[in-house]
């Protein structure tokens, strides 16, 4: 029974991934975050949940994730790369994901936002491996709590 449930979950995830992530323009899809089963990452244990998703990525690829954090940008070879992260203590104090914005407008760095997106893998040729990021459905400014 457990194997059947896992297989069914995999099929549903692939369908969601193809249906939602396949669009390069957010305005072309008719889905809203309310249409989908969303994994909300909140306090307490934000950093633990992010790490769990990173370590068990195959269980989360194609799933919709929502959380709040700081919008940050960086550049690699003149290409902008965006993140929504939280800065917390401990050995590895930055927790969150890279976000692929599509046509969603970016925010100024260090703006507190809520991001909702589909977790996806993408290949980085320079690194020779797959990484994960959120393909953004919505990005909204929030008041930090």
Q: What is the DSSP letter of 20?
A: I
Tell me, what's the pLDDT at 93? 81
Q: Tell which wins on pLDDT, 68 or 24.
A: 68
Q: Is the dihedral angle over the CA atoms 2, 8, 14, 17 positive or is it negative?
A: negative
pLDDT in tens, 15-59: 222 233 333 333 334 444 455 689 999 988 899 999 999 999 999
Q: Is the peptide bond before 44 cis (omega within 30 degrees of 0)?
A: yes
Tell me, what's the pLDDT at 43? 87
Domains of the chain: 2-141 (2.40.50.140)
pLDDT in tens, 38-47: 999 998 889 9
Distances from the Cα of 45 to the Cαs of 18, 20, 41, 142, in angstroms?
A: 31, 28, 8, 20
Tell me, what's the pLDDT at 111? 97
């Amino acid at each position: 029974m457990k194997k059947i449930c896992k297989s069914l979950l995999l099929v549903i995830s692939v369908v969601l991934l193809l249906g939602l992530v396949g669009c390069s323009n957010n305005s072309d899809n008719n889905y809203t975050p309310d249409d989908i089963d969303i994994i909300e990452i909140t306090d307490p244990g934000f950093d633990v949940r992010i790490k769990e998703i990173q370590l068990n990525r195959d269980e989360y690829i194609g799933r919709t994730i929502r959380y709040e954090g700081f919008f940050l940008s960086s550049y690699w070879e003149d290409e902008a790369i965006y993140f929504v992260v939280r800065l917390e203590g401990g050995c590895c104090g930055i927790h969150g994901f890279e976000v692929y914005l599509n046509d969603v407008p970016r925010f100024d760095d260090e703006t507190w936002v809520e991001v909702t997106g589909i977790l996806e893998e993408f290949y980085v040729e320079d690194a020779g491996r797959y990484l994960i990021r959120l393909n953004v459905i919505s990005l909204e400014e929030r008041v930090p709590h």
